[in-house]
Amino acid sequence: MEQLLSLPKEGTYKYEQLAYVESTDDMISKTYGFLAFKETNASSGDWRVRVTATVTTGIMMDPKMMIKKSEETERSGKEFFVWGSSLKPREGSNDSRLVETMIFQKEGKPTHVELHLITRNADGSPKEEKVMKFDWPQ
């Protein structure tokens, strides 16, 4: 499958693709595409994870912030936290679209990321959920 999104050109930063998912929402004739990648500063070695998107906003995940949120999530007894903007089904409407990014943690450290995606058929019914999943980079 040819991807709708591609990695940025390398220069100051190096890029490593982590995952990709897409699904077309037939009601609005738009394809929701998401590309997750690790972005590393070529000179310092500092890195972060980014998710670019075709329809919704992208997401940036800084390792220090993800560790801090993972520690808070561990203390609260939860397995994951939601990060970035989300699109959730609206109560009382037939809009079943879902875009949600979850960062899973174990012992206060991020372990993997899941982006859940549901788009719609032409009649408004939900399509089968797609999940983009990748391990948290080291």
CB of 116 closer than 8 Å to CB of 102? yes
CB of 21 closer than 8 Å to CB of 131? yes
**Domain-by-domain residue ranges, the chain?**
13-135
The pLDDT tens digits of the residues spanning 71-112 come to: 999 999 999 999 998 888 888 787 899 999 999 999 999 999
The CA distance from 114 to 132, in Å, is 6
Nearest to 42 by CA among 2, 17, 13: 13
pTM of structure: 0.94
The CA distance from 5 to 9, in Å, is 12
